[in-house]
């Protein structure tokens, strides 16, 4: 067995990213011990609490500017993207149902989403059904796209919420968010977008998209884990998913993580500023790796990504290796110092093929050999070269 290399090469940035310098610097004062450190509860009235509140509201304003929200109070800080997704979908469904009943409508009311969503969206189906909602899936095409025409066939006057991701976390397909949002609004439904993988890779424009809600995660763009962002447009009907002390203007109770939020704001600002240059670098590496892997007979790209395409994320390469299982290859590459995944990190322990590849029509046996390489801000062409050589060794 080959020994682990001294230097590890990390190519699993769609799962999480290293803490960036801007976030680390922003968080540093809050990591100190003692009563003189800025440790205050942002909801306390004394001076230490007011200082924390000032930091919190400054972070809110900065995130709103970076994401092009209409105003800062549309930004809600959460414990992560999963909470943001759940809160948006369930909270808006309950709020919209309440509004519909006041208008004399009685349903049955439904929520619509796509087959290739992250589990944080798809798994809300169990809670929604328990709360009396119907849950319907809209089909995607062979590239993972949800077209406006497909959505029109599913939504109707009883649809309260539509949720479609901005970009897929496994294969990188970018969805036509603004067009899908228009279809939902034309049917009288609210629209939520899971924009976790889009942030920092493609331009994010909440006002331009016209969405009612959007979810983001700090740790996907160099921020700390455990901090999420929920954008909720003003006057959107919403019932708080986490009731309690009434923090975040009554929309998300719980004492705010000021340290993490300060780091999240810095990371999001940095990711948005660096996005054009990073996307160009990553796209060149993505295209090179797809070309090299595609020349190996047993390697099959999960989707066809044309060279230079901006219809897919610039940082994701997803292939299936015929005759291998993902776990075997991941461990073989790990022994060679290369860190990648077999698709979504949230499902990495599962032996079942990816639900995303199944929705794309990839055969089960082939899908079990899925590999995802996701390129980060710090990766270089030398990292791609090292991965390719290690990959050839692993399958030899």
What pLDDT, on the 0 to 100 scale, is given for residue 345? 52
Domain range 21-269, CATH architecture: 3-Layer(aba) Sandwich (3.40)
Looking at residue 246, the DSSP 8-state letter turns out to be -
User: What is the per-residue pLDDT for 33?
Assistant: 87
pLDDT digits (tens, 9 = 90+) for 100-118: 999 999 889 999 999 999 9
Give Dmax (Cα) for the chain: 69
CA distances, 32 to each of 2, 36, 215, 230 (Å): 42, 9, 30, 28
Residue 298: its pLDDT value, please? Answer: 95
Q: H helices of the chain, where?
A: 21-27, 47-67, 81-102, 119-122, 124-130, 148-152, 177-186, 206-209, 258-294, 326-335, 355-359, 364-367, 381-395
Q: Which residues pair with 370 in a beta bridge?
A: 320
- In angstroms, the CA 247 to CA 233 distance is 17
Which residues, 6+ apart, have CB-to-CB distance to 276 below 8 Å? none
Residues involved in catalysis: 346
pLDDT at position 195: 98
Q: Residues with Cβ < 8 Å from 77, sequence gap 6 or more?
A: 56, 59, 60, 227, 228, 229, 230, 248, 252, 256, 257, 261, 264
Low-confidence ranges of the chain (pLDDT < 50): 1-4, 347-348
Tokens of 10: 């990390």
Q: With CA atoms as reference, report the closest residue to 108 among 152, 151, 159, 153.
A: 159
Two tokens, residue 21: 């310098």
- According to CATH, where is 3.90.1150.10 located in the chain? 9-18+276-395
Query: CA 36, CA 310: separation in Å to the nearest integer?
Result: 49
* Residue 344, pLDDT score: 56
Q: pTM for this one?
A: 0.94
Q: Is 165 helix (H, G, I), strand (E, B) or coil?
A: coil
Query: Where exactly does CATH 3.40.640.10 map onto the chain?
Result: 21-269
Distance CA 99, CA 32 (A): 47
Q: Which CATH architecture has domain 9-18+276-395?
A: Alpha-Beta Complex (3.90)
**Which sign, positive or negative, has the C-alpha torsion 2, 5, 6, 10?**
negative
Under a CB-based contact definition with an 8 Å cutoff, are residues 268 and 63 in contact?
Answer: yes
């Amino acid at each position: 067995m080959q020994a682990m290399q001294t230097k590890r090469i990390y190519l699993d940035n769609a799962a999480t990213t290293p803490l960036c310098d801007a976030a680390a610097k922003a968080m540093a004062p809050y990591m100190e011990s003692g009563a003189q450190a800025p440790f205050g509860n942002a909801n306390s009235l004394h001076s230490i609490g007011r200082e924390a509140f000032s930091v919190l509201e400054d972070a809110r304003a900065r995130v709103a500017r970076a994401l092009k929200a209409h105003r800062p109070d549309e930004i809600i800080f959460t414990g992560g993207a999963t909470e943001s997704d759940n809160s948006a979908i369930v909270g808006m469904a309950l709020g919209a149902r309440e509004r519909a009943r006041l208008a004399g409508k009685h349903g049955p009311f439904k929520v619509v989403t796509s087959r290739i969503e992250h589990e944080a969206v798809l798994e809300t189906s169990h809670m929604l059904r328990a709360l009396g909602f119907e849950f319907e899936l809209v089909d995607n095409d062979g590239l993972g796209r949800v077209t406006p025409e497909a959505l029109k066939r599913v939504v109707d006057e009883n649809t309260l919420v539509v949720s479609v991701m901005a970009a897929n976390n496994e294969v990188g397909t970018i969805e036509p968010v603004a067009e899908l949002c228009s279809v939902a609004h034309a049917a009288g439904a609210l629209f939520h977008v899971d924009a976790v993988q889009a942030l920092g890779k493609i331009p994010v424009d909440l006002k331009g998209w016209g969405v009612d809600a959007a979810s983001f995660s700090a740790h996907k763009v160099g921020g700390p884990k455990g901090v999420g962002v929920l954008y909720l447009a003003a006057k959107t009907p919403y019932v708080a998913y986490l009731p309690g002390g009434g923090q975040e203007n009554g929309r998300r109770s719980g004492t705010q993580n000021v340290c993490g939020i300060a780091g999240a704001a810095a990371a999001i600002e940095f990711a948005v500023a660096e996005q054009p240059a990073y996307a160009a670098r990553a796209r060149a590496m993505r295209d090179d790796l797809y070309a090299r892997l595609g020349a190996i007979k047993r390697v099959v790209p999960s989707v066809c990504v044309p060279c230079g395409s901006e219809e897919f994320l610039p940082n994701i390469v997803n292939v299936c290796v015929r005759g291998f299982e993902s776990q075997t290859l991941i461990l073989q590459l790990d022994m060679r110092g290369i860190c990648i995944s077999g698709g979504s990190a949230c499902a990495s322990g599962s032996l079942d093929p990816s639900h995303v590849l199944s929705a794309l029509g990839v055969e089960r046996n082939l899908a079990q050999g899925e590999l995802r390489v996701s390129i980060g801000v710090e990766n270089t062409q030398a990292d791609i070269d090292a991965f390719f050589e290690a990959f050839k060794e692993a399958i030899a």
